[in-house]
């Protein structure tokens, strides 16, 4: 759905089916993301980006990729004005939870600033930011920016069956107290699997930052 932020420009908000039904998301195009492309071309067979579901989704829904491309151009090129953020936020007035990046990832700090400004404006909505690009987030914090309390930072493991260590989580918790990790597994017998049996809107762990702090999902 197109959400106007001024007289001429808009940002696309995606709806979802399946596990994420009922949760809107704001995403960018992974095919334009240098970090994503580098990971997709990794020689490591366990690189999680080699299992990316976005290829299947964009092949099925032909209109999706142009929408994500448009978002990349708007969200990564400049910091949106206060009035533009306010206009964008009106779309989420009656929305309880929103996901940042269900089809892509962070490209740069400008994009992260725009996301956090939106979350700051939508005080009664909970957001989850999924990212594998930890350096961008770390630089954001080191540059003196803060994340609002209604955002959960979800550190997504870049490798299959590789749980991010507690030291990394501790590093980010120095700046923000709502931090969890997300791991994908190929092992159907993994007793730690705690994601996928319910819809996200019913579970809400990634948005409420409830225990366990490590979410594990069986690969799609």
DSSP string, 34-80: HHHHHHHT-S-TTBGGGG-THHHHHHH-TTHHHHHHHHHHHHHHSPP
- Residue 155 contacts residue 179 (beta carbons within 8 Å): yes
pLDDT confidence of residue 130: 96
Of the candidates 174, 193, 198, the residue with the CA atom closest to the CA atom of residue 183:
193
Two tokens at 67? 């929408």
> In this structure, what token pair is assigned to residue 151?
């955002």
Evaluate the omega torsion of the peptide bond into residue 212 and state whether it is cis, within 30 degrees of 0: yes
Report the pLDDT value the prediction gives residue 212, as an integer from 0 to 100: 63
The two tokens of residue 123 are: 């005080």
Beta-strand pair 2-4/214-218: unpaired
Reduce the DSSP state of residue 10 to 3 states and report it.
Answer: strand
d(CA 76, CA 107): 7
Question: Residue 180: its pLDDT value, please?
Answer: 94
Instruction: Check: CB of residue 164 under 8 Å from CB of residue 173.
Output: no
Q: Taking a C-beta distance cutoff of 8 angstroms, is the pair 80, 88 a contact?
A: yes
pLDDT of residue 127: 97
User: In this predicted model, what pLDDT tens digit does every residue of 30-68 receive, in sequence order?
Assistant: 999 999 999 888 899 999 988 887 878 888 888 999 999
Can you name the residues that pair with 27 across neighbouring β-strands?
A: none
Q: How many CA within 13 A on the CB side of residue 48?
A: 22
Integer CA distances (angstroms), 75 to 4, 6, 212, in order: 13, 14, 32
Low-confidence ranges of the chain (pLDDT < 70): 210-212
């Amino acid at each position: 759905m197109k959400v106007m932020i001024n007289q001429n420009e808009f940002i696309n908000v995606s709806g979802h089916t399946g596990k994420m039904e009922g949760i809107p998301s704001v995403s960018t195009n992974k095919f334009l993301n240098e970090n994503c492309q580098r990971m997709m071309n990794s020689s490591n067979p366990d690189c999680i980006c080699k299992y990316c579901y976005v290829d299947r989704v964009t092949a099925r829904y032909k209109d999706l990729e142009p929408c994500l491309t448009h978002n990349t151009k708007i969200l990564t090129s400049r910091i949106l004005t206060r009035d533009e953020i306010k206009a964008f936020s009106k779309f989420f007035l009656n929305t309880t939870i929103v996901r940042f990046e269900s089809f892509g990832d962070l490209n740069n700090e400008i994009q992260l600033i725009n996301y956090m400004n939106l979350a700051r404006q939508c005080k009664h909505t909970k957001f989850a930011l999924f990212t594998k690009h930890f350096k961008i987030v770390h630089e954001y914090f080191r540059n003196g920016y803060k994340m609002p309390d209604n955002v959960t930072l979800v550190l997504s493991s870049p490798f299959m069956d590789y749980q991010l260590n507690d030291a990394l989580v501790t590093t980010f918790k120095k700046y923000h107290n709502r931090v969890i990790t997300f791991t994908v597994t190929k092992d159907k017998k993994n007793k730690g699997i705690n994601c996928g049996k319910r819809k996200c809107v019913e579970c809400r762990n990634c948005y409420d930052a409830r225990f366990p702090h490590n979410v594990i999902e069986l690969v799609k």
